[in-house]
Every structure is written in structure tokens, then in C-alpha cells.
């Protein structure tokens, strides 16, 4: 029997607040500076918020402005996922070393290739059936979880501001 795909809430449980904020800005197709200006944040505040090792986050009254600026409620979804999980479930992952990072990336690209082949076949037939859609969706959720885990693990190698 197929296992149920992870939900996006499951992925959000595993993400850090820094990752969520970064993803929300990236999805907005705006720069941090554009978003910060819309939120009324000076550059120093933006720099601190973007620094994952600095325990400095937007204040609760500023989050609605951040959501308006990015046209997304992802950070609110993250808060909800954490609350439904019984509190903050995110924990810093074990940092990747270079070999672990390369192996994880190789695994993700292999999985992405598998999805790509299924999609190519559906395109060739000009049709996708219910079972294929379900299988592809499950694989994409697995990829999302793997990508977020890899991003968190790579932070130790990168050690730069987002």
C-alpha cells in the first residue's frame, strides 16, 4: 500500500524560522531590501533578521506587514504547524560535511530525475491519470522534505547570511 504523502504542514514542522522567512521572501520575487522597506525596517534590522544564528526575529505586530509585503502567509502557516505539533518541533540538524552534502544532493537529483521521467511519459501521452498524479505528488512532497533538510544541513558549510 502506498504511504500517504507528507503534507506541507509536516515539512513546515521541520523548517527553522530563518528558512521560512527566507523562503517567503524568495517566493515573493522581491529582495529583502524591498520587503524591509515595505515593513519599515532599517537595513540593520533586515541584516539581523536574515542572520540565522542571531536570535532576532520580526515582532508579532510586524508579521502582518511582512505577509502583505511578500503576498504570502507562509510564516503564519509555519506558526500553525508548530502549534499543532505541540510546540516548536524544529531542531538544528546535524551539520553536513562536504561528502554528506554531495551524497544528499546526488540522491535528490536522482529522485528528481525519476519524477521527470514520469512527467515526460505523461506529456508524451498528453494525459496524466489519477494514480500517476498521486504518485508524482507523493514524490514531490518527499523531494520538498529532502530539499528543506538539505538546506538546513548545508547551513553549517555555508555559514553566510540568507
Q: Among residues 84, 109, 143, which one ends one of the domains?
A: 84
Rounded to an integer, the average pLDDT of 35-49 is: 92
Assigned domain for 2 exists? no
Number of domains within the chain: 2
Same domain, 71 and 111: no
Task: Report if residue 89 sits inside a domain.
Answer: no
Q: Give the CA distances from residue 79 to residues 111, 135, 147, in Å, rounded to whole numbers and listed in that order.
A: 29, 29, 20
**Same domain? 58 vs 109:** no
CATH number of the domain bearing residue 76? 1.10.260
Range of the domain at 129: 98-158
Q: Work out the pLDDT band at 160, boundaries 50, 70, 90.
A: very low
- What is the pLDDT of the chain when averaged over all its residues? 81
Average pLDDT over residues 49-65: 84
Q: Over 90: is that where the pLDDT of 72 sits? A: yes
Amino acid at each position: 500500500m502506498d504511504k500517504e504523502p507528507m503534507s506541507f504542514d509536516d515539512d513546515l514542522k521541520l523548517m527553522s524560522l530563518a528558512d521560512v522567512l527566507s523562503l517567503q521572501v524568495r517566493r515573493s520575487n522581491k529582495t529583502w531590501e524591498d520587503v524591509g522597506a515595505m515593513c519599515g525596517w532599517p537595513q540593520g534590522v533586515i541584516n539581523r533578521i536574515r542572520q540565522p544564528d542571531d536570535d532576532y526575529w520580526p515582532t508579532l505586530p510586524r508579521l502582518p506587514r511582512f505577509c502583505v509585503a511578500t503576498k504570502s502567509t507562509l510564516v503564519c502557516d509555519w506558526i500553525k504547524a508548530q502549534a499543532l505539533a505541540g510546540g516548536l518541533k524544529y531542531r538544528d540538524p546535524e551539520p553536513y560535511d562536504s561528502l554528506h552534502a554531495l551524497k544528499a544532493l546526488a540522491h535528490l537529483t536522482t529522485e528528481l530525475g525519476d519524477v521527470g521521467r514520469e512527467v515526460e511519459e505523461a506529456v508524451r501521452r498528453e494525459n496524466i491519470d489519477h494514480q500517476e498524479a498521486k504518485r508524482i505528488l507523493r514524490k514531490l512532497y518527499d523531494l520538498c522534505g529532502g530539499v528543506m533538510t538539505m538546506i538546513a544541513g548545508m547551513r553549517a558549510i555555508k555559514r553566510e547570511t540568507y
